Amino acid sequence: MTNELNELSAFAIVASERNFTRAAVKLGVSQSALSHAIRRLEERLELQLLARTTKSVAPTAAGAALLNDLSPALEQIARAVDRARSVRHQPAGRLRIVMSRSAAVMVLLPRLAAFTEAYPDIVLDVVTVTGPVDLVAGEYDAGIQLGEYIQKDMIAVRVTPELRLAVVGSPRYFASRRIPLKPKDLNDHRCITLRLTGGPYRWEFQQGRKSVTINVNGPLIIDDTHLVMQAVLAGVGLGLAYEEQVAGHIVKRRLIRVLEDWTPPIPGFFLYYPSRHHQPAALSALVNALRSPG
């Protein structure tokens, strides 16, 4: 297929130029190689496409008919190749990005207006999921995920500073229950569990060198942190969320934070994507727009 397309392209240029020397220069090949290519094409088609004399070259009737049908197709191929090349240099086109809803709210949305204004020809096709995702299998260009869940063979760019998780409950919930002072006290509480792709998320705590993991129990398992927070605000039970998500509710005393000295920083969110030698300009623009200054 590749050789035949090259030979057809070569024929079209020779027939248009009506000169092997000029066509060879245009193609960047030797005149001898070009002549052999045309001869192979004629032998394959069992047709004489070019009439040659010592002074001139002209398409035969069969060659002129082939050139007439071939030229629009070759022009369309050339345009398609140019468009493909422009993806590398022009920030344009569609990017399929996968992330959790929390990442979308905390990372993407605050920068989205400025990004779309700067790059009006880029379309971000965003899919929200909870838990790790295989970018290649899902045919995504990139994703935003917590650093601990990103595969080692991915390129990862930090898009937030370190984050901290917060265990919170509503005043209504604590009206008839004791405040937990240690992680093990959660065994006596109703906890709202976040379901990830691999199953329920285990609550992890650390104080100094002491680490504790609790498999919490409760009346509700949800796959979205924002729904977890709505349930917590309604007094269903205790929930785990990022500080940024609950800070306003804590200030307004809608939520009470507990076990604060047991929640150390975590690495934060990263934009990640498969290693590429020729990264599309649209992806480069998104990386630069979301990259954390810290």
Predicted pLDDT of residue 76: 85
State the chain's maximal CA–CA distance in angstroms: 104
Interatomic CA distance for residues 272 and 148, integer angstroms = 12
Instruction: Show the low-confidence residues of the chain (pLDDT under 50).
Output: 1
The confidence score (pLDDT) of residue 82 equals 67
- Residue that is last in its domain, among 33, 56, 89: 89
What is the reported pLDDT for 198?
Answer: 64
Q: How far apart are CA 87 and CA 235, in angstroms?
A: 50
Same domain, 239 and 111: no
By residue range, what is the domain housing residue 106? 93-162+268-290
The CATH number of residue 98's host domain is 3.40.190.10
Taking alpha carbons only, the member of 109, 133, 124 closest to residue 197 is: 133
User: Which residues does 191 contact at the CB level (< 8 Å), separation at least 6?
Assistant: 203, 216, 217, 218, 237, 238, 239, 240
Q: What are phi and psi of 220, to 5 degrees?
A: -145, 135
pLDDT of residue 88: 55
Give the Cα separation of 249 and 3 in Å (integer).
67
**CATH number of the domain that 185 lies in?**
3.40.190.290
Residues 84 and 136 in one domain: no
What domain count does the chain have? 3
Whether residue 213 is found in the same domain as residue 249? yes
Residues 206, 71 share a domain? no
Residue 1, pLDDT score: 41
Residues 165-176: pLDDT tens digits? 999 999 999 999
pLDDT at 26: 85
Q: Which residues pair with 240 in a beta bridge?
A: 167
Please choose, from the candidates 36, 33, 44, the residue with its C-alpha nearest in 3D space to the C-alpha of residue 66. 44
Same domain, 255 and 273: no
pLDDT of amino acid 197: 63
Q: Is residue 220 located within the same domain as residue 169?
A: yes
Read off the pTM. 0.68
Residue 189 sits in the same domain as residue 255: yes
CATH number of the domain enclosing 51: 1.10.10.10
Q: In this predicted structure, what is the pLDDT of residue 249?
A: 96
Note whether 195 and 283 are same-domain residues. Answer: no
